Amino acid sequence: MIDPFGRSITYLRISVTDRCDFRCVYCMAEDMSFLPKRDLLSLEELERLAGAFIRLGVRKLRLTGGEPLVRRGVMALVNRLGLQIGHGLDELTLTTNGSQLARYADELAAAGVRRLNVSIDTLDEAKFASITRWGRLPQVIEGVMAAKQAGLRIKINAVALKGVNEHEFDTMLAWCGDHGFDLCLIETMPLGEIEGDRMDQYLPLSVVRQRLAANWTLTPSTYATGGPARYFDIAETGTRLGLITPLTHNFCESCNRVRLTCTGTLYMCLGQDDAADLRGVMRASDNDQILEDAIRAAIARKPKGHDFVIDRTRSGPAVARHMSVTGG
């Protein structure tokens, strides 16, 4: 699949649920209303859609949410998709908050998952509880260590929040280095209505990088995962630092990915509202050729880039839907 700007689309992120057992302050309101279960695609429908994308050239699948591991029966889907590795699919990965990893780490490894992204914004237990509202850091750390023991490679994702965790990244780099984890820092994104002003949260990663360079030797890396992060090798630890900067340095020119929601809506760009309803197409016919044609038509509308911006003059988010709906 080639988009209008010559980019080959080889990476699909699939949200298996919009539900989550955390209520992170930068992601959703504490009293979040989730979709009725009847609106969600079945696991069989998610597998059918994934198969169509693989036939069309997708080589990497990432399961997301919400929190994907709270979806009932999700391991059946993971196991089925794992069978596609080496048969059109190169890699199956997962982004998780880590709350269920102690339970599922061994099963994920057995299914063919080799890498995980785990969201941890702070190693301070009280602050972690404050950021996630419902999360417990010891439970997440237990899950991360279970995943490490299972042989999974781990990247820790942290959203950089001004005045919250901005002075903790030296500590987090050291902790990740001790365990062989990469660390990826992410600028807050203007997605969905939250409580408070996003300008109060926004911390440019250009500032963070400058601060970290005072204590760490950061060398631009040739490493790439197909995602939006720019990586730096850390001489002192042998691990990597990734920076995802949709606001200070967007990554649109190399975008190779699209996102499928748990309701079958395909978003060609995280920062745009244009979307394609694949659920309706799929449920109207068992003919996969019709489904594949609909996917190709959607890719033909993929925009050049997003419209993310954060400033005091904009009263609402750049995109109204929450990250948990699109797929984190």
Query: Residue 312 annotated as binding?
Result: no
Query: Residue 208 annotated as binding?
Result: no
DSSP one-letter string for 159-207: EEBTTTTTT-HHHHHHHHHHHT-EEEEEE---BS--SS-GGGTB--HHH
- List beta partners, residue 305: none
Query: Residue 262 annotated as binding?
Result: no
Query: Residue 6 annotated as binding?
Result: no
Whether 310 contacts 199, CB under 8 Å: yes
Query: Residue 95 annotated as binding?
Result: yes
Task: Give the C-alpha separation, 143 to 182, whole Å.
Answer: 16
Residue 220, Cβ density class (10 Å: 0-12 exposed, 13-18 middle, ≥19 buried): exposed
Query: Residue 38 annotated as binding?
Result: no
Query: Residue 258 annotated as binding?
Result: yes
Output the six-digit token pair for 306.
């997003």
Task: Give the C-alpha separation, 192 to 323, whole Å.
Answer: 7
Query: Residue 184 annotated as binding?
Result: no
Query: Residue 78 annotated as binding?
Result: no
Query: Residue 309 annotated as binding?
Result: no
Query: Residue 26 annotated as binding?
Result: yes
Task: Give the C-alpha separation, 254 to 273, whole Å.
Answer: 20
Whether 250 contacts 272, CB under 8 Å: no
Query: Residue 230 annotated as binding?
Result: no
Query: Residue 296 annotated as binding?
Result: no
The alpha-carbon radius of gyration of the chain (Å, integer) is 19
Amino acid (1-letter code) at residue 230: R
Q: Which residue positions form the known binding site?
A: 13, 20, 24, 26-27, 62, 66, 95, 119, 155, 189, 252, 255, 257-259, 269
Q: Which residue positions form the known binding site for GTP?
A: 13, 62, 95, 155, 257-259
Q: Which residue positions form the known binding site for [4Fe-4S] cluster?
A: 20, 24, 27, 252, 255, 269
Q: Which residue positions form the known binding site for S-adenosyl-L-methionine?
A: 26, 66, 119, 189
